[in-house]
Structure 1
Amino acid sequence: MILEHPTACRLVAEAELALPELVREVIAVCEIPAPTFHEAERAAYVERRMQEVGLREVRRDAVGNVIGRLRGNGTGPNLLIAAHLDTVFPAGTDVTVRPDGDILRAPGVGDNSSSVATMLHAARLLVKNDVPLAGDVIFAATCGEEGLGNLEGMRAVVEALKDEIDYVIALDGSLGGMVREGVGSRRFRLVVATSGGHSWGAFGAPSAIHSLGRIIARISELRVPTHPKTTYNVGVISGGTSINTIAARAEALIDLRSLDRGELVRLEERVLRIVRAEERESGVRATLELLGDRPTGSIPDTHPLCNLVRRVHRELGLQTRSYPSSTDGNIPLSMGIPAVTVGVTLGGNGHRLDEYIYTTPLTKGLAQVLLLVLGAQELPQRAR
């Protein structure tokens, strides 16, 4: 058992005592707005805090990620721990945290302010206790995880460190969760254009809205596999100028997802055939602009990293829930680097203005990260 190690016992005990500081950190992080592509202010705070807690070689890279490091003795695997900085909420959103007993309420408080704060305090306790490390532990606060950020930050971090890192642990989601399968996605803007005209005088001329409607209807009739799970969604539509104008332009945002890259490619090809058929039949012009491309990837449920997560969860009295998702972990998984994503607390209403977390589980979330770091020291180095 990891908890039989004296260092582990000490770290878990200190994690229990860290709750007041950890809650203050969550609030401080959350109340700095960080919409995707606009994380600089929060990144500056995290950079300063990484330096204050004692991380070395702290820096911001070209895309805005904040990276710090604890050096090991070179005899064990190098571990990357990552938590994304950005939130789904646009600039101007009130991100004031409202404490309510054991609850913190605010947009982005769970996704992902609690993870960023927990990562900082895991680093603080590792430094404070001078924990001996076989390999380096690299901490990264990443940009562009949400929405159209397209995992930009994690792509840059892993590309820069791919020859160094052996394992990746991303912090996101809920406590007890484990993501070892990355859901891949392809996201498009579909634009349909034509000449338009007056609804009476030019009746019968092609309408961009009518054509877009037919395309969407045909997409909605596509049958896709349940294993591997594959999905599609038209999430946003817009177009036209007035009630009595034949629309000259209409557009839609389309999200395609699958656990299998091959199925994702096939689904994209089917959607493209539908679009091209409508062009031929109606005489409109249609373009598909790629907005996002998230790769698939996975490790077996029996992988040593998954076994480590389950072992840590058992020792902390947690039940492991394994499920697929789209997270920063997609990037290392797609490159053959073992990765899991775990959460640090419980809560609800993610991606909503009434998002909330419970504060008490944060201490277990922090202890989980610390024990994963200790346990990872015993994992084999990755073959290169």
Structure 2
Amino acid sequence: GEEQGLQGSKFFDYSPLQATMAFVLDGGGEPGEIIIQSPCQNEIEYIAYGKSAHAGINPEDGLNAIHLVSQALAVMPSGRIDEETTCNFGVIEGGTARNIVADVCRVKGECRSLQRTKLDKLTDQLVSTFQDEVAKRGGRAEVQVTFLYPEIQLDEDHPVVQLAIKAAEQAGLQPVLTSTGGGSDASIINGQGIPCVNLGIGMRQVHTTNEYILIDDLVKDAEFVLKIIALATEEA
């Protein structure tokens, strides 16, 4: 899944495949939705190192890494950056006990954008700001950036998009071309040189404990896939 960085599709062996296009069933929209744009993403781990000390006896001898991180995050961009770009800090871990000045604190975050240049620019800003804010307060910073997956940018007239549109219409669905801020196996497959669209399947309340899908939508999904297979066979 996206949370683990799409590891399954990353480690799949694509060398035996002769496919010229692909389709992934992982979109949160209604059946008939065809996702032709999705973001690239960087995973970023930030680490601040301070100095431990007893919190009640000699706190002035310590340097609180949790405090260093909080001051850095306070001036770093977060949330919706623009219509194509987002940033998030999702996990903070630090310290060992309430009476010890924390000497290390880690933050796990991410940034993503539909445009690679915007992703690179935002990543550079996040890294440099964190390093500068920690360093000027006497701490030491480490930042590790991992590129998780590439962006998808497909034109409406691309063969894989046109086939999906035609299949949706034949299945009695209203084709809707759209973009998403989420990643999927389609991102990795496109990165392997196989044009791929992600299809909406009717998932509802995604990423909650109430996530569900209607049986009627499952039937529509199956009919959509059958039309895709039939059309692809005709054009082969």
* TM-score (normalizing by structure 1): 0.55
2:38–2:179 CA contact under 8 A, matched in 1 = no
* Greater relative contact order (CA < 8 Å, ≥ 6 in sequence): 2
Alignment partners' CA distance in 2, 1:320 and 1:204: 64
Alignment partners' CA distance in 1, 2:78 and 2:11: 38
Alignment partners' CA distance in 2, 1:221 and 1:358: 34
Counterpart for residue 349 of structure 1: 205
Aligned to 2:105, the other structure's residue is in SS state strand
Residues 20-31 of structure 1 mapped to structure 2, 5 A cutoff: none
Displaced runs of 4 or more, over 6 A: none
Aligned to 2:90, the other structure's residue is in SS state strand
Counterpart for residue 70 of structure 2: 213
Change beyond 3 A, Cα 1:283–1:336? same
1:299–1:333 CA contact under 8 A, matched in 2 = no
Residue 289 in 1 paired to residue 147 in 2? no
Counterpart for residue 159 of structure 2: 304
Residue 365 in 1 paired to residue 225 in 2? no
2:35–2:199 CA contact under 8 A, matched in 1 = yes
Give the letter aligned to residue 293 of structure 1.
Answer: L
Residues 215-230 of structure 1 mapped to structure 2, 5 A cutoff: 215-220=72-77, 224-226=81-83, 229-230=84-85
Q: Deviations over 1:169-201 (max 9, x none)?
A: 111124222112231111122121222212342
Alignment partners' CA distance in 2, 1:152 and 1:222: 25
Aligned to 2:119, the other structure's residue is in SS state helix
1:184–1:260 CA contact under 8 A, matched in 2 = yes
Which runs of 5 or more structure 1 residues have no equivalent in the other structure? 1-144
* TM-score (normalizing by structure 2): 0.87
Residue 261 in 1 paired to residue 101 in 2? no
Alignment partners' CA distance in 1, 2:16 and 2:187: 15
Alignment partners' CA distance in 2, 1:295 and 1:193: 32
2:23–2:199 CA contact under 8 A, matched in 1 = yes
Residues 265-284 of structure 1 mapped to structure 2, 5 A cutoff: 265-284=120-139
Counterpart for residue 249 of structure 1: 104
Cα deviation, residue 363, structure 1: 1.8
Q: Deviations over 1:53-89 (max 9, x none)?
A: xxxxxxxxxxxxxxxxxxxxxxxxxxxxxxxxxxxxx
Counterpart for residue 33 of structure 2: 177
Q: Deviations over 1:198-238 (max 9, x none)?
A: 23423264210111011211213799443xx0110011112
Aligned to 2:185, the other structure's residue is in SS state coil
Identical amino acids, percent of aligned pairs:
25
Counterpart for residue 92 of structure 2: 237
Aligned to 1:218, the other structure's residue is in SS state coil
Alignment partners' CA distance in 2, 1:299 and 1:249: 44
Count of aligned pairs between the two proteins: 231
Change beyond 3 A, Cα 1:307–1:167? same
Change beyond 3 A, Cα 1:222–1:248? same
Counterpart for residue 189 of structure 1: 45
